[in-house]
Structure 1
Amino acid sequence: MTLSGVAARTPDGRTLFDNLNLSLGRERTGIVGRNGTGKTTLLDLISGDRAPAEGSVARAGSIARLRQEADRAPDLTVAGVLGAEAALARQQRILAGEGTADDLAEADWTLETRLEEALAAVGLRGLALGRDAATLSGGERTRLELAALELVGADLILLDEPTNHLDEAGRALVAERLATWPGGSVVVSHDRALLRRMDRIVELSPLGAAVYGGNYELYAERQAVEREAAEHDLAVAERAVVRTAAEAQRRAESKARRDRVGRRKGMKGDMPKMLRDAKIEQAEQSGASQVRLAAKQAEDAEQALAAARDRVERVRRMSLTLPATGLAAVRQVLTLDRVVVAPAKGVRIGPVDLRLIGPERVAITGPNGSGKTTLLDLIAGRLEPSEGQVGRSVPMAMLDQHASILRDEETLIEAWQRLNPGGTLNDAQAALARFLFRNVEAHKSVATLSGGERLRAALACVMTGPEPPQLLVLDEPTNHLDLEAIEAVEAALAAWDGALVVVSHDRDFLNAIRIDRELRLD
């Protein structure tokens, strides 16, 4: 697979990336970049689902793709996802004595065995082939899509956020299948554990694509070096602009002094007119030349400054600061006393005992389907326990992975004012500005926000009101964030002085926010 001079643009004409040159073979390639830079679009171009705005794409092998959950067909059976419905129907016709000559010629009697092996390899042994795929959990559907890739056996596989919604076992399985895949793979992901298994990283940005040999750790090291170099170059460029302006001013003042001296000499009348006129012309030409030189130097310095700012913008990391809560170290925060949740349908949870005192940080862990989100809903007061008692002693807020406290039809200003009814418009604007939504950004519609922007907006709305929470309850907060947003949220939470209860399968995230202990549900 070779992409030559490829450009991609949005329907409204905005350029996502331009002049992209990339060759793909048997290596594992990780695609990273801020939300909105065109990572999924790049997969569309590679797969042939989309034509480039410019350039060409050459394919010399077979390609298969695992899509994000939102892009998957909802009305398929398990066999349909595996691409086996027609072949299984052919076998059924033959066994029923209704098969045609074509059926007999095309029948694959190894298919059922291969289907069983593929499902077993992804932890779905015994899954009914006729089951509606829409009834599977997000993690189960991802495993099923991986099994489909195994059956296809393509030369190049494309995976778009394959570990979203997967528990630790599922994430490990994805990494294992990639490690043993005989062909090439292109992976869009913010899962740093998975990116560590890549052979190279391609970073997309508004300035283009940058290719980094090696895995995520080497990429992160190079990024740190580039940030330092970019900040240094920006400082040099800023000084050059000031120095160029000062030099131009010095030259102008020097010329003005020489002109005054010349005029005084001319006024004495002891210089021949021809010589005086020649000196005037020479001075004018010299002055014009100096003006042109100063303008050229100023233009060059400003262009260098603009380029340095662009480079800093590409590598600079987002920074967030959460307001202090003043939570006392001995303050009782949360108590679960022999709590049981026994819904009519679903998993019974409990009995669970949990006590949070002061700014403790607890991770709720366990496999998919073990009831982690249900327990968070109980802690947040969205559910009542079937048995036991829940004690909440401090102001708290819960943010799920979709930041559903925000409403798509609102602007950010409207969302802040709804969630903080005592605040003024100025309060809302100041609060949102602290979370990098300044000026017109504060009037954006919630529906237009990326995953990272949505979580940032939700934090702004719940953390900057008259009574900011001292306990935050977070459900898979990194699922829809890009790497930059994840690192910004990690740094903000690590420095925050409040208490945390977090559900996350991202071990890097849990380590970064300094989890004190884990409560595991099985």
Structure 2
Amino acid sequence: MLILQGVSYAHPNRDLLFSDIHLSVHKQEKIALIGNNGTGKSTLLKIISGNLPPTAGSVKTDTRPYYVPQHLGQFNDDTVAAALRLGDKLKALNEVLRGNVTEANLTLLDDDWTIEERCREAFVHWQLDGLDLMQKMSSLSGGQKTKVFLSGIAIHRPQIVLLDEPSNHLDITGRDLLYDYIRSTHHTLMAVSHDRTLLNLLDRVYALSRQGITVYGGNYDFYTAQKEIEDDALSQELKGREKELRKAKETERKALERQQKLDARGKKKQEKAGLPTISMNTFRNNAEKSTSRMKDVHTEKVAGISRALDQLRAALPDTDKMKIDLDHAALHQGKVLLTARDINFGYGEQQLWQQGLSFHIRSGERIALKGQNGSGKTTLIKIMLGSLQPGTGVLERAAAGAVYIDQDYSLIDNALSVYGQAQQHNPGSLQEHEIKMRLNRFLFTRADWDKPCRSLSGGERMRLMLCTLTIANQAPDMIVLDEPTNNLDIRNMEILTSAINEYQGTLIVVSHDAYFLEQIKIEREITLDPAG
């Protein structure tokens, strides 16, 4: 059982992240924790795991949860054993086996005589055969580091498991192992993820926002269906309010025109009656006051409807606010952009691929590069883009503009401000206010324009990247995406998906996310088979 009572968290600068969170997770429940970037999902997992104290409130659990973190760079100086918090227990076991049977060593060992065997079995299961517990974490790839922590589940045998973006660096085989674990486990489970396949394996969705947590009693598909109903209702209410605003403004206009006509007729009658000047002034002042009161009433009504309308518009999904407007005129569907004939690449005498690669890539195609970690997908991208030359074979390229977008969106210059990055892509035809209008369209408000790019989150970098493409205006012939969703939450994945689906040029994508590949309408695959 996991219970949160009134949990709040504020950053050291006192900015409140979330407040008064109440939730309970029952034994063997499997929960998806979702929310936009910046709502505090990872922070909440750290609080539940005991790695971060809440600013207020309490967390009650039957046992200490086991936590698989998203960011693993902080363990680079540790051995695998230290990262898994096994160092003291393994040391105690070795001391006891050497005959140093002290009470301190037996206490540390806690009768866990099979710890080394469980480590070996867990490492084999997660494709880490032969991994040395004394090996440095810095020697491992991102996917291997994640598998080390996933191995820790079988090693520590917890009752509660917390997963923070566990599929980010896993290849397809690793993801399948993770999905099998989630399907079969009897652990109480809470996962933060943008992986739709993973989210659909969980029983409930807890949506975290600044307003608190909303519980949806089904998997992610159920949640999206419910959200679609809510968004449709929001759109209908928005249309109704817009109609009400138009009607209120028209009523105000007609009422003022009618009052002005009445005042004019009244003035003529008074002039014909020959009333004294003082009486005429009194009548005029009364008419002006009456008109002013009526105008105030209508102005307040219009302002109230406008405020309600602004609130409704702010609640609209971000994908509805953005429009990717590129000039696709120069793109020629079906034109051959790349032709590869038996190409390969060597590191020393060792060839990268089992057989040379031969393929054509035509304008307008949508292609996924597939292969396990280490199969040479990034190397092939560099060859396609011309930054590497194949060691053998021939690659012919047509003159074409290409944009390479990696998972860190490193085309963004960290030394520039948000506005400076946008201005850098301005062909000279846009005025300052037009660039800022486009930034606004991509959710960069006045408060963001001077923000340094180095401080942007993955989702913000992605949105700025898309914004610069619209500022440059001319669509590139080819866009290459290398694991573009690893650092994105679900909202920003939807924004990226929407933008890609408007693009008419050639798309080459490296991604292990099957749902994302389906959504962007991949047509065919190039699968890499590494040598050896």
TM bucket, shorter chain: 0.7 to 0.9
Residue 432 and residue 240 in structure 1: after superposition, are their counterparts in 2 closer, same or farther (change >3 A)?
Answer: closer
What residue in structure 2 maps to residue 121 of structure 1? 125
Q: Structure 2: how far apart are the matches of 1:316 and 1:11?
A: 35
| Paired positions, count | 515
Tell me how far apart the structure 2 counterparts of residues 202 and 23 of structure 1 sit (CA, whole Å): 11
Structure-2 separation of matches of 1:439 and 1:346: 52
1:160 aligns with one of 150, 157, 164: 164
* Pairing 1:465-484 to 2, within 5 Å after superposition: 465=472, 468-484=475-491
The CA deviation at 1:308 is 2.4
Q: Which amino acid aligns with 2:391?
A: S
2:6 equivalent to 1:2:
no
490-499 vs 164-173, greater mean Cα deviation = 490-499
Equivalent residue, structure 2, for 1:17: 18
Q: 2:408 aligns with which of 402, 407, 417?
A: 402
Shift of 1:67: 0.5
Distance 1:326 1:286 in 2: 62
C-alpha distance in 2 between matches for 1:291 and 1:170: 67
Q: SS where residue 165 of structure 1 aligns?
A: coil
- In the TM superposition, residue 160 of structure 1 has moved relative to its aligned partner by 0.9
Deviations 1:265-311 (A, max 9, x none): 99999xxxxxxxxx9xx999999997886677556535533442343
Which deviates the most, 345-354 or 249-258? 249-258
| Per-residue deviation, 1:495 | 2.9
Deviation of 1:187 after TM superposition, in Å, equals 1.0
Specify the alignment match of 1:446 in structure 2. 453
1:168–1:338 distance in 2 versus 1, CA, 3 Å: same
1:368 equivalent to 2:373? Answer: yes
| Deviation for aligned residue 1:367 | 0.9
Q: Is contact 1:319-1:488 (8 Å) kept?
A: no
Cα distance, 1:246 vs. partner?
5.0
Q: Structure 2 length normalisation: TM-score?
A: 0.84
Alpha-carbon separation, structure 2, partners of 1:253 and 1:405:
58
SS at match of 1:147: helix
How far does residue 324 in structure 1 lie from its aligned partner after superposition?
A: 1.2
SS of residue paired to 2:512 = coil
Match of 1:276 in 2: none
| Letter of the structure 1 residue corresponding to residue 526 of structure 2 | L
CA distance 1:428–1:308, change in 2 (3 Å): closer
Report what 1:59 is aligned to.
61
Contact 1:3/1:58 (8 A) holds in 2: yes
Distance 1:176 1:319, change over 3 A: farther
Q: 1:387 to 1:309 in 2, by over 3 A?
A: same
Aligned CA-pair RMSD? 3.7
Deviation, structure 1 residue 342:
1.0
1:272 corresponds in structure 2 to none
Q: Distance in 2 between matches of 1:345 and 1:162?
A: 36
2:395 alignment partner in structure 1: 390
1:114-193 mapped onto 2 (5 Å cutoff)? 114-193=118-197
Match of 2:277 in 1: none
TM alignment of 1:405-424, pairs within 5 A = 405-416=411-422, 423-424=427-428
Q: Is the 8 A contact 2:344 2:351 kept in 1?
A: no
Counterpart contact for 2:425–2:471, Cα < 8 Å: no
Q: Could you tell me which of 182, 199, 203 is aligned with 1:199?
A: 203
Q: Taking structure 1 as reference, are residues 245 and 485 closer, same or farther at Cα in structure 2, changes over 3 Å only?
A: same
- Asked if 2 retains the 8 angstrom alpha-carbon contact of 1:3 and 1:56, the reply is yes
Residues 134 and 470 of structure 1, relative CA distance in 2, 3 Å threshold: same
* Aligned match of 1:46: 48
Pairing of 1:140-289 with structure 2 (within 5 A):
140-244=144-248, 246-247=250-251
> In the alignment, what sits opposite 1:455?
462
Sequence identity (%): 32
User: Which letter does structure 1 place at the counterpart of 2:485?
Assistant: T
Rate the CA distance shift 1:330–1:285 in 2: closer, same or farther, 3 A: closer
Q: Quick check: 441-450 or 141-150, which moved more?
A: 441-450
Gaps of 5+ in 1: 270-278
CA distance in 1, matches of 2:256, 2:329: 57
Task: Provide the C-alpha distance between the structure 1 equivalents of 2:185 and 2:31, rounded to a whole number of angstroms.
Answer: 13
Q: Distance in 1 between matches of 2:69 and 2:259?
A: 68
- Contact kept in structure 2, 1:402 and 1:451, CA below 8 Å: yes
- Structure 2 distance, partners of 1:248, 1:445, is 46
Report whether the alignment pairs 1:31 with 2:36: no
Residues 507, 303 of structure 1: CA spacing in aligned structure 2 closer, same or farther, 3 A cutoff?
same
Gaps of 5+ in 2: 274-282
Shift of 1:179: 2.1
Paired AA for residue 481 in structure 1:
L
Is the 1:337–1:354 Cα contact (8 Å) retained in structure 2?
yes
431-440 or 159-168: bigger deviation: 431-440
Equivalent-residue separation in structure 1 for 2:483 and 2:519 (angstroms): 14
Separation in 2, partners of 1:208, 1:128: 44
- 1:328 equivalenced with 2:353 (yes/no): no
2: distance between equivalents of 1:392 and 1:298?
Answer: 60
Q: Describe the superposition over 1:490-515 as per-residue Cα deviations: whole angstroms up to 9, x where unpaired.
A: 23223322112211111112222222
3-state DSSP of counterpart to 1:145: helix
Opposite residue 164 of structure 2, the aligned amino acid is D
Residues 1:266 and 1:204: Cα distance change in structure 2 (over 3 Å)? same
Residues in 1 aligned to 2:419 and 2:391: alpha-carbon distance in whole angstroms: 39
- Corresponding position of 2:384: 379
SS of match in other structure, 1:312: coil
CA deviation string 1:414-469 (max 9, x = no partner): 4455567xx33837875675463567445432112221221232344456548642
Distance 1:371 1:326 in 2: 32
- Mean alpha-carbon deviation: is it higher for 237-246 or for 502-511? 237-246
Mapped partners of 1:56, 1:168: distance in 2:
38
Q: Which region of structure 1 is more displaced relative to structure 2, 53-62 or 132-141?
A: 53-62
TM-score when normalising by structure 1: 0.85
Answer yes or no: is the 8 Å Cα contact 1:323–1:496 preserved in 2: no
160-169 vs 260-269, which deviates more?
260-269
Matches of 1:253 and 1:129, distance apart in 2: 85
| Aligned residue in 1 for 2:278 | none
State the alpha-carbon separation in 1 of the partners of residues 472 and 257 from structure 2.
Answer: 55
Q: Is the 8 A contact 2:46 2:52 kept in 1?
A: yes
Q: Distance in 2 between matches of 1:13 and 1:234?
A: 35
1:133 Cα deviation from its structure 2 partner: 1.6
* 8 A Cα contact 2:33 2:192, kept in partner: yes
Aligned to 1:512: 519
Tell me the residue number matched to 1:273.
Answer: none
Q: Provide the C-alpha distance between the structure 1 equivalents of 2:433 and 2:16, rounded to a whole number of angstroms.
A: 30
Q: Residues 58, 106 of structure 1: CA spacing in aligned structure 2 closer, same or farther, 3 A cutoff?
A: closer
Partner SS for 1:362: strand
What amino acid maps onto 2:201 in structure 1? Answer: R
Structure 1 SS opposite 2:316: helix
> Structure 1 residues 423-432 or 235-244, which shifts more?
423-432
Quick check: 465-474 or 83-92, which moved more?
465-474
